[in-house]
Chain A
Amino acid sequence: MNYWRVPLDINKIEIPHGDVQIDVEQCKGCEFCVEYCPRDVLELSTDFNRKGYHYPNVLKHNACVNCTLCEMICPEFAIFVVEGKPINPDVNDVLKKEAKV
C-alpha cells in the first residue's frame, strides 16, 4: 500500500501474518493456490513430489497476511496457514514507497 505521507499511527498498525505450511506429498499440483494467492506468496516448485506433481513453494514469506485463501481453495487439504506474529510496518519501507509515488 502506498501512503502520501506517513500515517500518524504507523507505530500502532499491525499487519496480520501467516506461516504457510505445505504438505508436499498431498499436493496434486493444481496451482490453484499459486494462481489465486492475493499476495503472490507462492510459486510452483521445479521439483516433483513422489506422485510427480510440482508443488507450491513459499516465495515471499513476509508477504503472507494470513488470509487463508490457499487453505480454502486447495482441493487436497495440502496447504494451510498458521497464524504468525503480526508485522509492524517499517517506517522506511513506507517512505520508500511514498518516494516512488
Chain B
Amino acid sequence: MKKVTKEVLKSNAEKLMFEMSDEDLDLLVNEFGVIQEQMSLIGEIEGVDETTPMTFPFDVTSTFLREDVASEPLDRELALRNAKDVVDGQIRLPKVVK
C-alpha cells in the first residue's frame, strides 16, 4: 500500500475546505498507519478483489412518482431564516469582482 504523507493529507484537507495543524497532520499519518495495517487484514481475505462492491444493505425498491400536483415546498423567508447575512431575499457573500 502507498505511503501516506503529510503533504498528501494536507492537500486532501484543502480539497475538503478546512485547515489542519501540523500536529494534527502528524497524528493523522500515525492513524493511517493503523488503518493500513487493519486494511491489510482485508487484503488477505480470499476472493475479496473478485467480489462485487456492496453499496447498500439490500436492494431498495422505493421507486415511485408523486402525484403531479403543484405545491409550494418552502417559503422563502423560512428558507433564508438560518442564513447569517441576507439582503433583499438573497444570501450576501463577499464580492467576486473587486
- Same complex for A and B? Answer no
Chain A positions within 8 Å of B, measured between CB atoms, are: none
